[in-house]
Chains A and B, each alone.
Chain A
Amino acid sequence: MRTAKRPEIRPVALVAVLLAAIGLLGASAPMASAHARRAAQPIAIVAAENQYGNVARQVGGAAVRVTSIEDNPNTDPHTFEVSARVAQQIAGARLVIENGLGYDSFVSKIEQAAPSRARKTIVVQRLLHLAPSTPNPHLWYRPDAMPALAKALAGALAGIEPAKAATFQRRAARFIASLGPWKAALAAIKRRFGGSGVAVTEPVGNYLLRAAGLKVKTPFSLQTAVMNGLDPSPQDVAIEEALFSRHEVKVFVYNVQVTDSLTAQFLADAAHAHIPVVGVYETMPIPGFTYQSWMLAETRALERALADHRSTSSL
């Protein structure tokens, strides 16, 4: 061997220092948050998506402390990867809210890894009595999803803190009532434009579109391909392009959080055919929105597109 002892030790020491530095960096963040939680009194709620977290905050008020895992509107929640910090937050929560339908299956995995009798879990899919094979997981766009969640939250929180049961019930009822303007806006679209065709990239906003009486004409195989990050078949892309060129749709609704060259191409096709576009979000855009104002803003954007041919690319 040509290598002497000294040059061998140096790289080892360097690597050790590097690894230690990475470890310290990684460890400091979760330690700080765990410390904060112990000091705080409110009921710890973890919501897999921030739209559910927002409803929990509205129903729970000052009695709860809500952490939302998915709250970055610039990323695609489907590709979320769990960090140690998220795992710790879920393990330490009293109440966990998840969407279900495989959309946030990482939550159930962590819960199974850290079982606790003190922790309750609300799965929106189960609240709505949906089969696990339901193809479209974006349940929060259903007008009946959040009222059901608000009621379930009031019940679950009352179980944890019975003294405040009446408060939780009142706040849930107030939240459900505040969805009125959104439902009215949906009904208005249904009256004026019911049955109109709509093209989409993904099934994100489909429940809302259906509630507004609109027909999604994009093949579902294209929607699932885009949703799952696979390449859509040329046939489906040709069908979608024909929807624009033959003016079979009045609006093009696309997912702002998943934009690739294909979405850009569809946007160009829609612009070429003078079809207005509406951008929808997979998680609640922050700051400045509540669940109600977000849904209302999306619906108003849809109405503007249908009535005035005006596009809304971002809220």
Chain B
Amino acid sequence: MNALFAPGFFTNGIVHSALIVGAVVAVVAAVVGTFTVLRAQSFAGHALGEVGATGGSAAILAGTNPLWGFIGIAVVAAAAIELLGVRQPRSRDLATGLVLGAGLGLAALFLYLGTTSQSTTGASITVLFGSLFVVSMQMVPSIVTLSIVALAIVVVCYRRLLLTSLNPDLAAARGVSLRPVSALYLLALAIAVSLSAETIGAVLSTALLVGPPAAALRLTKRPIAALVAAAGIGVLATWLGILLAYDSYTWPPSGRGWPVSFFIVVFVFCFYLLAQLRGRKVTRG
């Protein structure tokens, strides 16, 4: 038992809140992320996550929790994507890439100002790579509320979201208007990306967003089953990541544990590879 769960795993307050926050965020990211994958908007999700670094570092400079910065910039960026309506992949990628570069440049400035004018030593690592072990208990109500908002959007718009995701032409033919659904979906995406940026960092947030859904969609094509599988894979990867990060306390080199974000991302990737192998067998059989 001790070999699997290092001593104190079940009594440690930090681990408890990490398990809870990690599970909530993994579910939201997986559910929203499933539509991100179906709509082939992974790059938008990635861009929203990375540009979140700008907001997160600005929030640290302003002395508030990075989550508010992540969410603020992600909502603004999502609105910009929607309003500009850059639909053609080529111009979209170019515009996103340029805005992303400028955003990260601003993040570099904010982090520089933050660490040279205030006592925020670990700001860069917190914003870029995050850690579930430092999400403070005060943030839990906000995280849960935001999660409920994102999930509610998906539940309320489920049918239209699915239709517009799988077959936009058919949706248009049936008179389902694309705009409001797409706008609401982008809001849910902004929230999901911000939440996963808060837990595993701005740079890594896409892993939690598109990794589990991509794996789930290899295993099943039925939407509900895919949503459930994606949520399950996301939670499992997060919990296993927390467990290994806790166990790594005694690992070399420094004897103080490896970063939890690293383990989560590794597990997400492993699950994707496994699903890929299994998915291939299924199609062959």
A residues whose Cβ falls under 8 Å from a Cβ of B: 72, 74-76, 78-81, 221-222, 224-238, 241, 256-262, 265
Contacts and interface: CB of A to CB of B under 8 A. Distances in A.
B134 A261 contact: yes
A285 to B, nearest CB: 13
A74 B119 contact: yes
B13 A231 contact: no
Contacts of A222: 256
A106 B93 CA distance: 40
Interface string B104-133: 000000001001111111111110000101
Contacts of A228: 121-122
Contacts of B125: 229-231
B133 A238 contact: no
Interface residues of B, number: 33
A265 B18 CA distance: 16
B8 interface: yes
A75 B256 contact: no
B116 A224 contact: no
Given A76-B120, A231-B125, A234-B15, 20 more contacts: A75-B117, A75-B118, A76-B115, A81-B115, A221-B256, A224-B256, A226-B121, A229-B124, A231-B133, A233-B249, A234-B18, A234-B133, A235-B12, A235-B249, A237-B133, A238-B13, A238-B14, A258-B121, A260-B121, A262-B134
Given A81-B116, A234-B133, A221 B255 contact: yes
B64 to A, nearest CB: 11
B134 A231 contact: yes
B259 interface: yes
A78 B120 CA distance: 10
B283 interface: no
Contacts of A233: 133, 246, 249, 256-257
Contacts of A78: 121
B246 A235 contact: yes
B116 A231 contact: no
Contacts of B13: 238, 241
A160 to B, nearest CB: 32
Nearest to A222: B256
A234 B10 CA distance: 11
B116 A75 contact: yes
Contact of B254 (A75, A224, A229): A224
Given A237-B14, A261-B136, A232 B112 contact: no
A241 B131 CA distance: 19
Contacts of A235: 6, 8, 12, 246, 249, 257
Contacts of B11: 238
A259 B14 CA distance: 19
Contacts of A227: 121
5 A-B pairs with least C-beta separation: A229-B122, A229-B121, A233-B257, A221-B256, A234-B14
Contacts of A231: 122, 125-126, 131, 133-134, 259-260
A78 B119 CA distance: 10
A234 B115 CA distance: 25
Contacts of A230: 122, 125, 256
Contacts of B117: 72, 74-75
Contact of B112 (A81, A229, A265): A81
A232 B122 CA distance: 11
9 contacts: A76-B119, A230-B125, A231-B134, A232-B133, A233-B256, A238-B12, A260-B120, A260-B122, A265-B136
Contacts of A75: 115-119
Interface in B34-61: none
